[in-house]
Amino acid sequence: MNNSENKKLKKMINQLKRPPVFIFLILLFIVLFGPLLAPYDPLEPKPMNTLAAPSWNHWFGTDNYGFDVLSRVLYAAQIDFSLSLVGVLIGGGIGSLLGATAAYKGGFTDFLLLRFVEVIQSFPVLLFALALFAAIGGGNRNMILVIAIVNVPMYLRIIRSSLLPLRTAEFIDAARCAGLNGLTIVIKHFIPNAKGQIFSLFVLSCAYAIQIIAGLSFIGLGVEPPHPEWGSMINAGAGYLMLGVWWPSVFPGLAIVISVYTINGLSRQQMTHQIRSSV
């Protein structure tokens, strides 16, 4: 009894020792409490103190408007993470539901949904987002919409193909035979069978979504300029790179790299964990 408890504890500690989990916990802390940790107001420029090099007063230096880079990086973490999370939750939810429906219904519904997905996927992500922003304007809400729409096809395809074998499974037949309607079967029997895939995909697409948000903000779309966002901060600092002023763009860039790497690592770990526990 005692031995098994010890083993559990050891296992947990070993999990924490893995770099992605450890870094992710730090990231989570920053996302949750970033605004409290930030030494300055990220929206209060100091025109007297522009492009100051990193020092004890400004750890990451200041940018061309005199904003404190560290504060802005911390605030931006919250914006980037929450936008990507909400977008992926919406897109992933709709995508999984449609994918499961396609797998369950088959035939014409399946055909229609797959062609719809192909149409969306045939546009490059950035071009698609650009068109959407041109049509409905920028802002956080539309950024979430873009993330959601970009994620729907991915989820739909993967969930559909992983659930396809269930269409002929006997217990699905038995469920229909017991008088359950289509929607109930999709939600009760199809979706739970793709739990693992949905979760892995969810983690991966969160990382992807952060990249998209940063990329769109870099070209001046999405999150509106005075608000801190990693992509737009890189863009703002990019003009001064040639002058040797590296800090306004390198620190947010580093933040993107670390977040995406950590989240991807988390998903890899989750997948290997899944494979091991299923054996």
Does position 107 interact with another protein (CB under 8 A)? The reply is yes
Site size with another protein, rule: CB under 8 A:
20
Does position 173 interact with another protein (CB under 8 A)? The reply is yes
Does position 33 interact with another protein (CB under 8 A)? The reply is no
Rounded to an integer, what distance in angstroms lies between the CA atom of residue 161 and that of residue 23?
Answer: 33
User: Are 166 and 103 in contact, with CB atoms under 8 Å apart?
Assistant: yes
Rounded to an integer, what distance in angstroms lies between the CA atom of residue 253 and that of residue 248?
Answer: 9
CB of 189 vs another protein, minimal distance in Å? 5
Of 106 and 139, which CB lies nearer to another protein in the complex structure?
Answer: 106
x/- mask, another protein, residues 181-220, rule CB under 8 A, reads x--x---xx--xx-x-------------------------
| Angle (nearest 5°) at CA 118 between 112 and 121 | 145
Does position 101 interact with another protein (CB under 8 A)? The reply is no
Does position 170 interact with another protein (CB under 8 A)? The reply is yes
Does position 111 interact with another protein (CB under 8 A)? The reply is no
- How many residues are there in the chain? 279
Q: Which of 89, 169, 260, 271 binds another protein (CB under 8 A)?
A: 169
- Which residue in this structure is represented by tokens 């001046």? 220
Rounded to an integer, what distance in angstroms lies between the CA atom of residue 131 and that of residue 137?
Answer: 10
Copy the structure tokens of residue 189.
Answer: 């029997």
Where helices occur in 123-229 by DSSP H, the ranges are: 125-136, 140-163, 170-177, 182-185, 191-193, 195-218
CB of 247 vs another protein, minimal distance in Å? 51
CB of 198 vs another protein, minimal distance in Å? 13
Of 127 and 178, which CB lies nearer to another protein in the complex structure?
Answer: 178
Q: Which of 35, 66, 93, 106 binds another protein (CB under 8 A)?
A: 106
Does position 160 interact with another protein (CB under 8 A)? The reply is no
Does position 47 interact with another protein (CB under 8 A)? The reply is no
Of 19 and 192, which CB lies nearer to another protein in the complex structure?
Answer: 192
Does position 176 interact with another protein (CB under 8 A)? The reply is yes
CB of 174 vs another protein, minimal distance in Å? 4
DSSP per residue over 39-89, as a string? Answer: SS-TT---TTSTTPPS-SSSTT-B-TT--BHHHHHHHHHHHHHHHHHHHHH
Piece in contact with another protein (CB under 8 A), picked from 55-63, 66-74, 95-103, 178-186:
178-186
Rounded to an integer, what distance in angstroms lies between the CA atom of residue 114 and that of residue 20?
Answer: 35
DSSP per residue over 132-144, as a string? Answer: HHHHH--SHHHHH
Positions in the binding site for another protein (CB under 8 A): 106-107, 169-171, 173-181, 184, 188-189, 192-193, 195
